[in-house]
Structure 1
Amino acid sequence: MESALPLSPNVRGSLLMAAAMAGFTMNDAITKAVSSEMNFGQIMLVRGVVAIALIAALAWHRGAIRPLRTLVMKPVALRVAGEVLGTVTFLAAIVHLPLANTAAIFQALPLAVTLGAALMFGEPVGWRRWLAIVLGFIGVLIIVRPGVEGFNQFSLFALVSVFFCAVRDLATRRIPAQVPSLFITLVTTVTVTIAGAAIIVPLGGWTPPSPRALGLLVLAAVLLLIGYQCVIMALRTGDISAVAPFRYSALLWAMLLGYLVFGDVPDAMMVTGASIIVLSGLYAFYRERKRHRPVAAGASGLPPDGL
């Protein structure tokens, strides 16, 4: 009996990226659901404690633990700060916005990273990609709708989170290769968890979690770790230019889960803005490949995953 036709590296990488997006989006849905019982600082703390245990065990197993002096490296410190601030503002947005709206705004993150790389590192960006960046942010404005009746001020938190995540991704590109990504993840997880503990009181104090909420947050931490590992495997398996566009599947997952779990139905403005953002991002990827240059590592940038 003949064996099944093996999948190409790019197909495997694309499937892994789609699986990662499913894991991250299910985590977002759980976070939003549990936010009815506790504030998001408490969510960061409880979920973070579980994540620390899982990631520390994995890092120890893989020999990825490094001295704490590694943290004094400017890129490492900047990455951790970007992730912490990005997580806080992201959770502030997601507990008050439909899942699909938050996910759609975050599809502009690769464009923000491209913009940041051009401004901070002097990376060349042709007029076509500048046009894609401008159109992408027009798509964001269509979703946010500043100054009109449908405007939700929590959309601004999502925008601020995009900025901090762009800082995180740009800083990551300056971290020396000898620093294991798993160690950076562990350090970030610890810092995010401490930040969550620090904001519990300002957000209303501690609420004893129900067994259901605790179980869901444990599941969320596991989904985050699975998503993180799937992203790493995806980027190592296939070409970034082929794999990274599948991060946009997060929007489809967000629309589906938002409808099934919360009854959210995306309106025409959200769909229009999201379509513009996704098309702009895909065109930017296309131009990178057309110029025969490697797609920036930050192009696979993701919303803060709480790690």
Structure 2
Amino acid sequence: MTRPTAPGIAFAVATLGIAVFSCMDALMKGLTIEIGAYNTMLWRSFAGTAIGAAVHFARRPSRPAGSTLRLHFQRGLVATIMAITFFWGLARVPMAQAIALTFIAPLIAIFLAGLLLKERIDRSAIVASLIAFLGVLLILAGQARAELGHEAFLGAIAILFSAVCYAYNIILMRRQAQVADGREVAFYQNMTVAIFLSLAAPVLAIVPDTEHAPALVGAAALATASLFLLTWAYGRAEASYLAPVEYTAFIWASILGYLVFDERVGVLTVAGAALIAGGCLMAARRKPVPMGNLEGAT
């Protein structure tokens, strides 16, 4: 913690960070519908690298150690897979439903921490996971009831897969936070994602129309701003205190989905989101878990 700050201020800043990232999700959804998930992520990562470089190198940082660079590239690879699957699914699923499905990631992280970090998994985590899984089933049932179609079902599966990737990303964030600050993380994550995506550029890349440039730059700027806001907040308040702010993403997604894409939120989606959030909070009371949404890692 860098300096004394009232917890309420940190909570408000974290809430603003989630709201900013939700606006980025709305921009990304529109872009994905227009130019596809791959090209949206490719060009946004280029813009994000430029913005991140300006902020990171302005302070003339020292070169990261080799082990830190390997960690940056490892997380960049995971973030690439996670972001592509998330935004591909987001283009096919209502925003509120997509965000609700990602809430299961922190619970998956508990089990990955047990597998990879040898942390103890107690009975409450298992019960919490069962509650959250019931929430996922409710959301999928609501999707079937709304007859959103086969594409929406595949989108939901893609988002759940992305949530599994993000759960592993949480494990990597724990290690990364010990060796790098937010500015370094923002630059290297954008750069590594751009490098990995560029490998497929000869086959998949297209140059978007100039009309898409403001949205691409805007999405990159919003993602960077959100990362800084959340980093500031989490540096001044405990993760267990700020954890509930993650679930405000459902509110922002519901509002933006309605205003921008004319999406309605069904009763089963709300009930499923409540169950998933309740399960995660039950697990957090047992032992705080570093949390974030698919958008904070993208």
Contact map agreement 1:44 1:197 (CA 8 A) in 2: no
> Of 277, 294, 297, which aligns to 1:303?
294
| SS of alignment partner, residue 35 of structure 1 | helix
Change (3 A) 1:9 1:269: same
> Of 14, 18, 43, which aligns to 2:15?
18
After TM superposition, give the deviation of residue 70 of structure 1 in Å: 4.1
Deviations 1:112-160 (CA, angstroms, capped at 9, x unpaired): 1122112322222321222112211221222234995656111111011
Deviates more, 1:194-203 or 1:93-102: 194-203
Q: Partner of 2:234 in structure 1? A: 235
After TM superposition, give the deviation of residue 172 of structure 1 in Å: 2.5
After TM superposition, give the deviation of residue 64 of structure 1 in Å: 3.9
Change (3 A) 1:154 1:36: closer
In the TM superposition, 1:5-44 aligns within 5 A as 9-44=6-41
Q: Distance in 2 between matches of 1:181 and 1:65?
A: 15
Q: Partner of 1:291 in structure 2? A: none
Structure 1 unaligned spans of 5+: 1-6, 289-294
Deviations 1:186-232 (CA, angstroms, capped at 9, x unpaired): 222112223444445655x5253242x21122111111111000110
| SS of alignment partner, residue 93 of structure 2 | coil
Contact map agreement 2:142 2:268 (CA 8 A) in 1: no
After TM superposition, give the deviation of residue 304 of structure 1 in Å: 4.1
* TM-score, normalised by the number of residues in structure 2: 0.88
Q: Distance in 1 between matches of 2:60 and 2:111?
A: 36
Change (3 A) 1:39 1:129: same
Q: Partner of 1:292 in structure 2? A: none
Change (3 A) 1:109 1:65: farther
Contact map agreement 1:76 1:171 (CA 8 A) in 2: no
Instruction: Give the residue type in structure 1 aligned to 2:208.
Output: P
Structure 2 unaligned spans of 5+: none
Change (3 A) 1:202 1:154: farther
Deviations 1:4-61 (CA, angstroms, capped at 9, x unpaired): xxx9622111111111111111111011112333122221122222211111111112
Change (3 A) 1:306 1:135: closer
**Number of residue-to-residue matches in the alignment:** 290
Q: Partner of 2:274 in structure 1? A: 275
Q: Distance in 1 between matches of 2:239 and 2:59?
A: 24
In the TM superposition, 1:239-254 aligns within 5 A as 239-254=238-253
In the TM superposition, 1:1-307 aligns within 5 A as 9-67=6-64, 69-70=66-67, 73=70, 75-145=71-141, 150=147, 152-175=153-176, 177-199=178-200, 205-206=205-206, 208-211=208-211, 213-288=212-287, 295-297=288-290, 300-305=291-296, 307=298
| SS of alignment partner, residue 33 of structure 2 | coil
Identity %: 24
Contact map agreement 1:47 1:217 (CA 8 A) in 2: yes
Q: Distance in 2 between matches of 1:35 and 1:177?
A: 34
